[in-house]
Amino acid sequence: MADTDPRLALDFCGLPFATPLVLLSGCVGFGEEYTRVQGFSNRDAGAVCLKGTTGTQRLGNAPHRVYETPAGMLNAIGLQNPGVDRVVDDILPTLDFGETRFIANVSGSTVEEYIEVTRRFDDSPIDAIEINISCPNVKEGGVAFGNDPDMSARVVAACRKVTRKPLVTKLSPNQTDIAENARRCIEAGSDAFAVINTLMGMAIDIESRTPFIGNNQGGLSGPAIKPIALLKVHQVYQVARAHGIPIIGQGGVTTPEDAIEFLLAGATAVGVGTALFYDPLILPRINRGIVAYLDRQGLDHVGQITGGLRLNTARPTPLCGC
């Protein structure tokens, strides 16, 4: 596998990760996006999440699809992909499974589509399956599966029945109680979580008085969402740790310190996404920073960081933060 420090290696749902870093879905296409960048190596990542895949080909949303915002980025790609048959038959055979682990990202607009795509990936060399439950349920008036615990659990349970591969449920922050949603997904058969997906946002062109994003709204990622993501990871960890359920913490990671914060909050692995767009060679730097932290703290393994947060004993402030 990788030539990285062995102290970074870990087990994730029975899969060997060479490092705790995961390349996030949508940021590296189907695994080939960054191979053309000189100096980039998949060996610096424990796993790569492939682009969201649906039952049939999708062309995605009208432009503009991406817009840079202060400390972040809005995107509304619209799940453009060639469909699961093309991914399984034509793309997966080109990937080097000796370099890293590859995780499929399953998306759908109905429970039946999630089942179809999951079943197809189950009969493939893919290492694990990530369920993107932030998609709108067309049969329920467009309500996102991930914003309702009942619908989230239905999708996870349906996918669980058609695959033996590890299931990673990607939780949405756009819901009332993410911990309760996590609990329901564990009961339905989720093996792991990815926390969090993007927050919904908007940017407006004041001269034309129209949104910059062609879809009007998009998912906000980048450093702007890191404090929210850290809290959500900590909240999900309170539920997941009793069941031995690992978490991929993600949202605004750009430095080794960011990654370590997510590990302390309860993540087993750490996702890197938006930062790759301006620094595609960021992974080795983050890995080196984590190793340096292990040295400073006198720790033998990256797993010793997970859940190491020491909460203050002071009374919590009101929810308004006053």
Q: What is the pLDDT along the chain (322 residues), one digit of tens a residue?
A: 346 899 999 999 999 999 999 999 989 899 877 766 777 888 899 999 999 999 999 999 999 999 999 999 999 999 999 999 999 999 999 999 999 999 999 999 999 999 999 999 999 999 999 999 988 766 776 668 999 999 999 999 999 999 999 999 999 998 989 999 999 999 999 999 999 999 999 999 999 999 999 999 999 999 999 999 999 999 999 999 999 999 999 999 999 999 999 999 999 999 999 999 999 999 999 999 999 999 999 999 999 999 999 999 876 666 666 6
69 exposed, middle or buried (CB, 10 Å; 0-12, 13-18, 19+)? Answer: middle
From start to end of the chain, where are the E strands? 10-12, 15-17, 21-23, 47-53, 66-69, 72-75, 101-106, 128-132, 136-137, 143-144, 167-171, 192-195, 199-201, 204-205, 210-211, 218-221, 247-250, 269-272
- Please report where in the chains the tokens 């809005």 appear, as a residue: 74
Q: How far apart are CA 142 and CA 138, in angstroms?
A: 5
Q: How many helices (H) and strands (E) does the chain have?
A: 7, 18
Comparing CA positions, the residue from 296, 292, 298, 271 lying closest to residue 283 is 271
| Residue 13 annotated among the catalytic residues of the structure | no
199 with 143: CB under 8 angstroms? no
Q: Structural domain of residue 263, as residue ranges?
A: 6-304
Report if residue 316 sits inside a domain. Answer: no
- Residue 235 is part of a domain; what is its CATH number? 3.20.20.70
- Residue 297 contacts by C-beta under 8 Å, 6 or more apart in sequence? 305
Residue 81 and residue 93: Cα distance in Å, rounded? 17
| CA dist list (Å): 119 to 15, 45, 253, 272 | 20, 26, 32, 27
Structure tokens at 273: 């996404």
- Asked if residue 112 belongs to a domain, the reply is yes
The total of other beta-carbon atoms located within 10 Å of residue 260's CB is 24
Catalytic residue among 27, 49, 135, 185: 135
Q: Is residue 47 part of a domain?
A: yes
* Residue 322 in domain: no
- Contacts (Cβ under 8 Å, ≥6 apart) of 242: none
Count of Cβ atoms closer than 10 Å to residue 75 Cβ: 21
| 1 located within any domain | no
Q: Is residue 280 part of a domain?
A: yes
Q: What is the pLDDT of residue 138?
A: 65
pTM of the model: 0.95
Number of domains in the chain: 1
267 lies in some domain: yes
Is residue 314 one of the residues assigned to a domain?
no
As a whole number of angstroms, the distance between CA 62 and CA 78 comes to: 8
